[in-house]
Chains A and B, each alone.
Chain A
Amino acid sequence: MASTIVQPATGRQEQKFLLLAVIAVLFVCAALIGQRRAESKVQRLQSYQISAFSGLTPGEQALFNDLYAAGLEVQSVHQDGGHWLTLDELRAQGIPPFDAKDFSWQTGGLDTVNAPAVAYFGASANPGTMRSFLLVLRGQDPSGERPHVHIDVLGVGPQHKLVFNANIWVSDASKPAMPLEFDPDTLGGQGWRQAVAFKGQDAQSGTQAAGTKP
C-alpha cells in the first residue's frame, strides 16, 4: 500500500519567509538610516571662531543680530553712495545697536585701497554680562577679487553678485581697545573671537549649528 507523507499544516514555511522578509526590511532600513546619518554635517569653526547660534547669551545674540542687520544697511548705503555711515548718521537714523545703553562705540577705517573697509567697535560697560563687539565691513574690490584677508561671507551667498563682506567679533577682555589690525591671527591673539552666524542657507543644506548638542 502506497503511503503519502502529509506535512503538518503549521505554516512553518510561511513563518520562515515572513522572518526573512522582516530581516530584509530591517536591514534596508538600518542601511538607509546609516546613510542619512553620514550625510548630516555640523558647522565647522576655526580656532578663532565661536558660534553666534550657541556661543552667545540671548542678550549678546540680540545685539549680534542688530549689528548684522546694521551691517547689511551700511553696506547698502556704501554700495549706492560710496561712503560708510558714520556713528552720528547711524544714531540719527535710529539704527541699533549704536544707540544701545552700556556700550560706547567708535569707528575706524582700514588700510585697504582696493577694498575700502570700515570697523565699528562697541566697548561694553558691563563685560561680565555682555562682551564687547566689533563689526568689520569691506566694500567690493573693483577687480572682483575677494579681499586678501579672510572674510566670513554673511548675508547673500557667494553664488550671487552681491556679497556681504562682513564679520562680527566679540571680546572677553574687560577693557578691549579698538584694534588696528583686523586679520584673524592678530584679532585672535588679542582675545577676539569671530562670531559665526548659523544662517538659513546652512539650515537648508542640512548643516547643524556648532555646539547644539546638550
Chain B
Amino acid sequence: MTKQADQAVRFRMLHRIALQAFVLLCLVAAGMPPAAEAHESRPAYLQIREVAPARYDVLWRTPVNSGMPLPVMLRLPEAARNTADPIIQRLNDSTVERRRIELPEGDLAGQRIDFVGLQATITDVLVRVSWLDGRQVTEIVRPARPWIELSDRQSIWQVARTYTTLGIEHILMGFDHLLFVAGLMIIVRSTRSLIKTITAFTVAHSITLAIATLGYASVPAAPLNAAIALSILFLGVEVVRLWRGQTSFTLRHPWIVAFAFGLLHGFGFASGLTTVGLPTSDIPLALLAFNIGVEIGQLAFVVVILLLHRAIRILQFDPPRWTYYAPGYLVGSLGAFWTIERALILF
C-alpha cells in the first residue's frame, strides 16, 4: 500500500470515529429537552383580580430552576396596602405568593407595577389583570422593560402581539407536539405530501383549539396528555414499518392521521390558552393571534428541520447506517416513555 493510500485510510477511520462521537453528542442534545419535561414553558406569572371595589387578590408565581428561585421582586403601586400577611407556598418548580391588597385611590388602571431584578434575567412575566366590570388586560413584560403601566383597555395591536407571542412560546416549549410533527416529517415521502400533512394537522388543531377555548367542549388534562403521548408512540411504530418496507394506512395517507391526531393536539393547545385566559372584549382576536403564534412556531420548527436536513445533504455526509434509525427511535422511545408516565397518573 502506498503512503498516500495509507494516509487516506487512516483519515477515513479518524473521520468515522469523529462522526460516531458527533452523532452520540447529537443524540444526547436531542434527548435533553424531553428529559427536562414535556411542557417546560414557565415564565413568571402575575394575576391580579378585583374581588370587591378597590380590593384585589394578587397571585405572584415565580419559577424555580435547579433549586434556584427567580431573583425578581414584585413591587406593587405605592398606594397599595396589604389587608393581611402574604401567604407563600414553595412548590417543586415554583414559588407562589398570594395576598389581598386595597387601593385607597380605587382603580389599578394607570398605575405602575415594577419587577425588580427582571432586567438581569431573560425570563418574561405574564401579567393578567381583571376587574369586576369584566375588563381584562393580559400582557407580557420583558426584561428589557421590567415594568408595566396598567391601562384599563388594551389596543387591538397589544392583544394580537401578546397572544401571538404566547402561541409561539407554547408550541416551541411543547416538546410532545414538536415530536409529533417530527414524526410526521419522517413518514412523509414527498414535499407535496409534507405540505398536505402539516396543513391537515394545522386545520385540525385549529378546530379543536377554538372549540375548547370557547367552552363548547373540554377534555380532562390527564387522559388528554396520555392520548397525545400515545399519538407519538403510534408514529414511532409507523416509522419502523416504513424502514421495513411495509405499508399501512398511515403511510399511504399520512394527512388523514395528522388530521385525526391534530384534533387531539388542539385540545392540548387550548389548555395553554385557558391557563392564561382570554380578554372578554377581544376573544376572537386573541384566539386567532394565539393560533397564528402556534403556526409560526410550528412552521419555524419544520423549516429549521428541513434546512438542517438539506445542509447535511449539501455537505455529503455519509454517516453510519444506524444513525438513520436514530430519529425514529427517539420518536418511538419518548412516545412510549410519556405514554407510560402519563397513563400511570390516571390510576
Do A and B truly interact? no
A-side residues, CB < 8 A to B, are: none
